[in-house]
Amino acid sequence: MIDLYTFTTPNGRKASIMLEEVDLPYQVHVIDITKGDQFSPDFVAINPNSKIPAIVDPDIPITVFESGAILIYLAEKTGAFMPSDQVGRYQVLEWLMFQMASVGPMFGQLNHFKKYAPEKIPYAIERYEKETLRLYGVLDRQLAQHEYLCGDYTIADIATFPWVAAYEFQGLTLDEHLNLKRWFDAIAQRPAVQKGMNVPEQK
């Protein structure tokens, strides 16, 4: 059984969605980042960078941190949601890296400055909202040509969905990006996604 160390963030939800999609048994260990659990010696031994999520697979045994690496590991372990041909594989890796390098950091900064910063800084909010909307456009254009980001449903979609799911929290809408909205609505209906988005369980 895989041990999943996670919390209620978009990055954490990537791992739980993937585990639900591939139907691997896993045990949830809540790392409450609002209480500083991520800095405990036990967790730092799993992830030296003190970030969630992380997994431990005792079958190997192996520890994997960084959400993108976890998705790749689970895809390779199960043979699911990653093309076997070289061209298809690298297209998925491109869009996975796009999420890791652009979508996550930019959407995350918008979340911070719009919702959590003690001082509302108009320049920062405008900068990150503008960049978030630009990235919506990039996704929308790709999805105008494909049902999912790389044609079939893959780890690139799993990585990106939880970040796009924050649009209402950010005070944004998908109504001007209809291809993105269609993609979002389709993925939101997947039972594994619904279960994974509720890990750790919301009370």
Could you read off the pLDDT of 78-95 as tens digits, one per residue? Answer: 999 999 999 999 999 999
pLDDT for 203: 60
DSSP the chain: -EEEEE-SSHHHHHHHHHHHHTT--EEEEE--TTTTGGGSHHHHTT-TT--S-EEEETTTTEEEESHHHHHHHHHHHHT-SS-SSHHHHHHHHHHHHHIIIIIHHHHHHHHIIIII-SS--HHHHHHHHHHHHHHHHHHHHHHTT-SBTBBB--HHHHHHHHHHTTTTTTT--STT-HHHHHHHHHHHT-HHHHHHTT-SPP-
Could you read off the pLDDT of 149-197 as tens digits, one per residue? Answer: 999 999 999 999 999 999 999 999 999 999 999 999 999 999 999 999 9
Give the global pTM: 0.96
Computed over every residue of the chain, the mean pLDDT equals: 97
What confidence category does residue 54 fall into, taking pLDDT thresholds of 50, 70 and 90?
A: very high
pLDDT for 202: 72
Query: What does the pLDDT average to over 113-135?
Result: 96
